[in-house]
Structure 1
Amino acid sequence: MQDAENFIRRHQLLSTVRTAVIGVSGGPDSLALLHFLWKRSSLYNISIIAASFDHQLRGDESARELAFVQRFCEERAITFEGGQGDVASFQKKHHLSLQTAARSCRYAFFEKVMKKYNADALALAHHGDDQVETMLMRMTRGSEGFSSAGIPVRRPFAGGEIIRPFLGITKDQIEHYCKVEKLFPVYDPSNESEKYVRNRFRKNILPFLKQENPNVHERFQYLSETISEDEAYILELAKIELEKVLIRQTEGKIELSVSAFNKMPIPLQKRGITLILNYLYKLNPSSLSSVHKENFLGLLGSEHPSGSLHFPSGLVVSRTYDRCLLSFEPIKREEESGFDYSLELPGHVELPNGLLTAEITDREPALLRGKDVFVFSMNDVSLPLRVRSRRPGDRMAIAGVGSRKLKDIFIDAKVPQEERKVWPVVVDANGNIIWLPGLKHKRRHTINHSEHWVILHFQKNRHDV
């Protein structure tokens, strides 16, 4: 087991561990790990607890395996914790696959034992062959990022961490250890059935790879660690760049700039999408795949200025010109956001997307400029004024151009659909549109010092970032 000891030392898996829980099923892998750490507990200065869980899926057979592990521990004065759970009922209640349900119940039990003994680590017996199988399976399914790295050497769990001391050795080495140490593990017959994907990889693919390279598990483990290290570094870069892209980030909603996102390098774009989806979903649904991320990239990279995608669990990705909104909120109908207010002179009106104020002055405001300011003579406009949302068929008279539809003005200015619904439209007493803040206004006449002037100013709300 020199290979295992070298692996533990290289990754410092036990350097800070004082109490370790060992997950034991009674099979050769976990039994060898328990025996291996038990014999070296004084060397590593650790206390060990064996934890065995009966999934109640194979009746008396699985119950006997639990009893076998308990006897094994009693004979060696190893602290033992046993548990059981009705995995089939749990699967049905939560609509999970059998493997996912079994894993959830088993890890919940491990967490309970970890907390009971204030343990630093949960040691599991995944080995090098498991790593090869896992990485090949995930590559075949189209996994990416950390997922394509396979089984991690360590990861946080229950206030401590999960460690895998046997990832550097093979199944054959474990079987040999059991023979040398005269261990007599139990064997799960389901491991021979080719109805399970993993077993098909184990029986058909792994032997070929080992024939080509007997140490193929070492190459896959090196690849796994390299992918994990690279992915962690690129994700940090993506986080930094994503901060420059986001316009708004609230619970269940993210809005970003399409042009800024498209300037990011492609590897950072892909990780940026992962970070966005992780934030929105919290726990990604199993139906979310790399295809969804590819479609997202396609939407943002498209020459068409608008479009939408529907992701699992009701997430809607909607692009309008330079903005892309991801939200679980249903899109409101246009008539639901309509408004119509009277604008007093002087006075102000609070609007869904900002504040519009009106002032009166008898001085020449010739220096006032900008798209958010409109200055006009009181003699040139029929009062009173109103501020309302757009209406079907709205048109505006523009000097030198003639009458134009508001729809066309919005399109030319690349105003997103959602913003058009709440964009203020200022009209005179006759219903004529005199100003679209930030976009267009009616022609102003020559300033006369003897007249009174109206100054309209629109201050748009800032987005929550």
Structure 2
Amino acid sequence: MNEFLKLVQKKEFFKHHTRVLIALSGGKDSMTLFNWLYEYQKELEIELFTAHVNYGLRDIADWEEKELRQKMQALGIELEVAHYTEEHFSEEAGRIMRYDFFKKVMEDKKCTALVTAHHKGDQVETILMRQITGRRLRHLTGIPERQVFGPGELIRPLLTFDKTALDAEVYFEDVTNAGNDYLRNRLRNQYIPALTSENPKFSDAVIDMSKEISLALSVIKEKIIDLEIIHDEIETQIFLQQSKALRYFILQEYLEKFPELQVSKPQFEELLWLIERPQQYRSEMSKDYLFVKDEKNFMIRPKDIFKEKELDIREDDPKDSTFMRVDIPLTGEVKIRKRQPGDYIFINGHHKKLRKFFIDQHVALEKRENLLILVEDDIYAITDLTISDLSKALKNDKMKRTLWVKPIIREDIDNA
């Protein structure tokens, strides 16, 4: 335990934390972590809180919860418990539920640090799991010792400790760990022991490789920072001036700005290809995000930034230069809509596909979504952009209607 105390003090894990939440599974790892922190809470000047998730996957899960409650009550330590209620269990669903719960407890108890009992063996398993499942290089750096989480920080002080160093005498043994239904269990029970028989220092080699990857990525990150290229938008010309290898990592670094956006490898390769093409582009990346490439920049934007536009339409001249004048025939059905495939506009004496007109005129992508004013399916205006020859020809005609139009964004009154 003295080694643990020295490490925690040396790394100043709790320098800025006084209220600390321990993720308590009841296994040997978390019970050792609890015992050590409980023993040294005065030296570390921290107040402890605990949180436990009862997944209900084993017959004795409720008994274990009861035992933990009694132990924490006897020690005067608050324990919060959550129960997994979904019909079907998966590792991913369990992980999401677990960390959402921890975050809520931190907020309720005003804790600024969550501490978990991940140790050296967990580190090796995690790196190998990510490699087997095809994760990117940056994810092979393993589990960080500390990271931003919830209202504070997530700290893993046992990452350098072997499982054999964990000394809790009272703990619950999860018999499901002996089974091989999950990849992590197969790694722990089959693959790592087999590879260790080939190389007794296999686990150390995996961690050393992870550290080298981390160092290499640090060098790449420093280069990217020096370029000062990553902002809310990235200038396409500067991006394309870099080597293909560096572009790959610049785009990865940019995507890190959107942690909730899950980008598959095929999506990533498609983004690189789209950025290299000269055309402007807009497409959905998820239900919440768009990828947009205009004449100068490419960017990822939340969909709610692109609010739907409406038209303020006047029949009398408002004497306001922000309004566009559109002359249309005296009769005929007027339609207002967005562009559709196959639309043509009569302009500069020629009928031209709307798509070709936008490309030839280098029209910005957002303006391509401006509303159209049509009469009997002929385009008379692209609002806030241009009028067609059909509208121009009517300017001096007495038999016409004149509209003054202006795009507006109506804000919801309830949100004002």
Which range, TM-score by smaller chain?
0.5 to 0.7
Q: What's the counterpart of residue 188 of structure 2?
A: 202
Q: What's the counterpart of residue 185 of structure 1?
A: 171
Q: CA deviation at 1:199?
A: 0.8
Q: Distance in 2 between matches of 1:59 and 1:282?
A: 34
Q: What's the counterpart of residue 263 of structure 1?
A: 241
Counterpart amino acid of residue 188 in structure 1: D
State how 1:244-323 maps to structure 2 within 5 Å: 246=233, 257-264=235-242, 266=244, 269-270=247-248, 272-274=250-252, 277=255, 283-285=260-262, 288-302=263-277, 305=279, 309-313=283-287, 315-317=289-291, 319=293
Does the 8 Å contact 1:129/1:170 carry over to 2? yes
Does the 8 Å contact 1:396/1:405 carry over to 2? no
Q: Distance in 2 between matches of 1:128 and 1:429?
A: 74
Q: What's the counterpart of residue 167 of structure 1?
A: 159
Does the 8 Å contact 1:57/1:87 carry over to 2? yes
Q: Distance in 2 between matches of 1:309 and 1:195?
A: 39
Counterpart amino acid of residue 103 in structure 1: R
Does the 8 Å contact 2:127/2:141 carry over to 1? yes
Counterpart amino acid of residue 165 in structure 1: P
3-state DSSP of counterpart to 1:241: coil
3-state DSSP of counterpart to 1:204: helix
Does the 8 Å contact 2:348/2:389 carry over to 1? no
Question: How high is the TM-score relative to the length of structure 1?
Answer: 0.61
Q: Distance in 2 between matches of 1:427 and 1:349?
A: 21
State how 1:327-338 maps to structure 2 within 5 Å: 328=303
Q: Against the structure 1 CA distance between its residues 197 and 320, is the aligned structure 2 distance closer, same or farther, given a 3 Å change threshold? A: same
Does the 8 Å contact 2:117/2:157 carry over to 1? yes
Counterpart amino acid of residue 25 in structure 2: S
Structure 1 counterpart of 2:228, from 236, 240, 258? 240
Structure 2 counterpart of 1:350, from 301, 322, 330? 322
1:156 aligns to 2:148 (yes or no): yes
Post-superposition CA distance 1:356-408 (Å, at most 9, x none): xxxxxxxxxxxxxxxxxxxxxxxxxxxxxxxxx998252426xxxxx785866
Greater displacement, 143-152 / 266-275: 266-275
Q: What's the counterpart of residue 106 of structure 1?
A: 98
Q: Distance in 1 between matches of 2:28 and 2:57?
A: 18
Does the 8 Å contact 1:241/1:264 carry over to 2? no
Q: Against the structure 1 CA distance between its residues 156 and 276, is the aligned structure 2 distance closer, same or farther, given a 3 Å change threshold? A: closer
Post-superposition CA distance 1:391-435 (Å, at most 9, x none): 8252426xxxxx7858666544544565456432475987299xx
Q: Distance in 2 between matches of 1:326 and 1:113?
A: 33
State how 1:366-445 maps to structure 2 within 5 Å: 392-396=344-348, 405=352, 410-416=358-364, 419=367, 422=382, 423-425=385-387, 431=393
Q: Distance in 2 between matches of 1:16 and 1:147?
A: 28
3-state DSSP of counterpart to 2:322: strand
Q: Which runs of 5+ in 2 are unaligned?
A: 326-337, 371-381, 396-416
Report how many aligned residue pairs link the two structures: 364
Q: Distance in 1 between matches of 2:151 and 2:365?
A: 47
- Provide the alpha-carbon RMSD of the alignment: 4.7
Post-superposition CA distance 1:309-353 (Å, at most 9, x none): 5423264435566565655379999xx999999999xx874268x
Counterpart amino acid of residue 65 in structure 1: E
Post-superposition CA distance 1:33-78 (Å, at most 9, x none): 2223333445x3334535242424136511221233345456xx63
Does the 8 Å contact 2:72/2:79 carry over to 1? no
Q: Distance in 1 between matches of 2:55 and 2:391?
A: 79
Counterpart amino acid of residue 87 in structure 1: Y
3-state DSSP of counterpart to 1:166: coil
3-state DSSP of counterpart to 2:30: helix
State how 1:24-103 maps to structure 2 within 5 Å: 24-42=24-42, 44-47=43-46, 49=48, 51-58=50-57, 60-73=59-72, 78-88=75-85, 91=86, 98-103=90-95
Q: What's the counterpart of residue 132 of structure 1?
A: 124
Q: What's the counterpart of residue 454 of structure 1?
A: none
3-state DSSP of counterpart to 1:156: strand
Q: What's the counterpart of residue 335 of structure 2?
A: none
Q: CA deviation at 1:154?
A: 1.0
Post-superposition CA distance 1:170-217 (Å, at most 9, x none): 22332xx34xxxx13211122122111111221232223433554444
Q: CA deviation at 1:150?
A: 2.4
Q: Against the structure 1 CA distance between its residues 8 and 136, is the aligned structure 2 distance closer, same or farther, given a 3 Å change threshold? A: same
In terms of Rg, which structure is larger?
1
3-state DSSP of counterpart to 1:313: coil
Does the 8 Å contact 1:23/1:51 carry over to 2? yes
Does the 8 Å contact 2:19/2:49 carry over to 1? no
Counterpart amino acid of residue 283 in structure 1: E
Does the 8 Å contact 2:347/2:388 carry over to 1? no
Q: CA deviation at 1:31?
A: 1.4
Q: Distance in 1 between matches of 2:226 and 2:179?
A: 43
Q: Distance in 2 between matches of 1:47 and 1:417?
A: 55
Q: CA deviation at 1:301?
A: 1.8
Q: Distance in 1 between matches of 2:289 and 2:108?
A: 39
Q: Distance in 1 between matches of 2:59 and 2:361?
A: 72
Does the 8 Å contact 1:20/1:46 carry over to 2? no
Q: CA deviation at 1:108?
A: 4.5
The alignment-based identity, stated in percent, is 22
